[in-house]
Amino acid sequence: MNAACTLPAANVREMFLDVRGLAPPEPMQRVLEALAQLPPRAALVVRIHREPLLLFQLIDPDGWSRSSRELAANDWQICIWRGARDG
């Protein structure tokens, strides 16, 4: 699954979360809960049924970095990791 991610380094540990098909706001809640527990030098790799623009608006100001890619119709992969200022 990591082929679609653009991560900051090759030695980043990936944590996986699949929230496809869950009704709002559950996907965003699960992602935020996972980010709160994400260890240093790790990235959260999320599979979701659409690009989560509202989630991006919430995490971008907090210094999270991210990449996203549409794999197929209604199938997105989002990679989120701590920004450079967080080490």
Condensed to tens digits (0 to 9), the pLDDT of residues 2-44 reads 455 767 666 788 999 999 999 999 999 999 999 999 998 899 9
Whether residue 58 has pLDDT greater than 80: yes
Contact 23, 59 (CB under 8 A): no
What's the rounded Cα separation, in Å, for the pair 78 and 34? Answer: 13
Contact 43, 9 (CB under 8 A): no
Please give the model's pTM, rounded to 2 decimal places.
0.86
* Percent over 70 (pLDDT), the chain: 85
What's the rounded Cα separation, in Å, for the pair 2 and 23? Answer: 25
DSSP state of 39: P
Whether residue 86 has pLDDT greater than 60: no
CA-based radius of gyration for the chain: 12
In the prediction, which pLDDT does 66 show? 94
